[in-house]
Amino acid sequence: MRVVVKLGGSLITDKGKAFFARDDIIRAAAQAIRESAQLGAEIILIHGGGSFGHVAAKKEIDRFGKLTAASVPPVSRAMMVLNNHVMEALLDENLKAVSFPPHSFCLYSCSKDSFSCSFDSLLIAFNLKIIPVTFGDIVFGEEACEPAIISGDDLALVLAKKVNAERVVFATNVDGVYRELEDASSLIPHIEFSEIPKLLEQIKITGGGVTDVTKGLPGKLTKIYRYLSSHDKRPEVAIINGMSKETLKMALSGSKVKGTFIT
């Protein structure tokens, strides 16, 4: 099974502590990836920025009012440090994995408000059964544009389309999407893809009673809808709790697990 997995920044870092990687969780995720790869999963791995990228980017914005070209070294540095935690864990599991930092192959266009990335090398690695690893990052702007942050969610959805993935797994630090904030019994196990606009409308009306806690559900759902509605071989999208190694392993292996599935 072809699967794109994003390990969210709130899962692999402690968002309350600047530059703090949760190595126990990263290592357990690496094991889950190895075990599912042994069961036949073909994986592209993405990770978020958590208390590395977001903290470094915020520092720049607080200081200069915006991201500038001079923000690229410190923010990309923060992401490379976090990426190294992930890479070490994968390589220690004897997985064949290679890192593709987006600041070296993506550009931001401010006139189009979009990113363009050269995925050729990454896709060659994937075809060679090597796990490509990429992540949310700061990328230069083209021409007169300032740099911008490309999110791991965007990369996951774009890559899922490129390789015709059967599943996209968003591994977060919560069980999935909840109807009511802080009500564990209100987990939504299934969302019909075509119902996303209606659900987003409800969120607007209720002022955000529905949340996935980690990142703002509306943003994630809007992206899922925007990227995948024009795709005829649409992957199923699973939002799961990556704190459980077993859940992550089973999700990567194509099983139905606890979480929210969008089909």
Residue from 71, 134, 151, 211 in contact with ligand IPE (CB under 6 A): 151
Q: Does 138 bind ligand IPE (CB under 6 A)?
A: yes
Q: How far is the CB of 171 from ligand IPE (least distance, A)?
A: 10
Q: Does 235 bind ligand IPE (CB under 6 A)?
A: no
Closest CA to 34 of 255, 242, 248, 259: 248
What is d(CA 107, CA 102) in angstroms, rounded to the nearest whole number? 8
Gyration radius from the chain CA atoms: 17
Q: Does 153 bind ligand IPE (CB under 6 A)?
A: yes
Q: Does 67 bind ligand IPE (CB under 6 A)?
A: no
Residue from 215, 220, 234, 249 in contact with ligand IPE (CB under 6 A): 215
Helix (H) or strand (E) holding 127: helix 120-127
Q: Does 8 bind ligand IPE (CB under 6 A)?
A: yes
**Residue 8 or 141 with smaller CB distance to ligand IPE:** 8
Is residue 102 within 8 Å of 150, Cβ to Cβ?
yes
**Residue 77 or 258 with smaller CB distance to ligand IPE:** 77
What is d(CA 20, CA 52) in angstroms, rounded to the nearest whole number? 7
Q: Does 149 bind ligand IPE (CB under 6 A)?
A: yes
- 259 HSE (CA, 13 A, CB side): 28
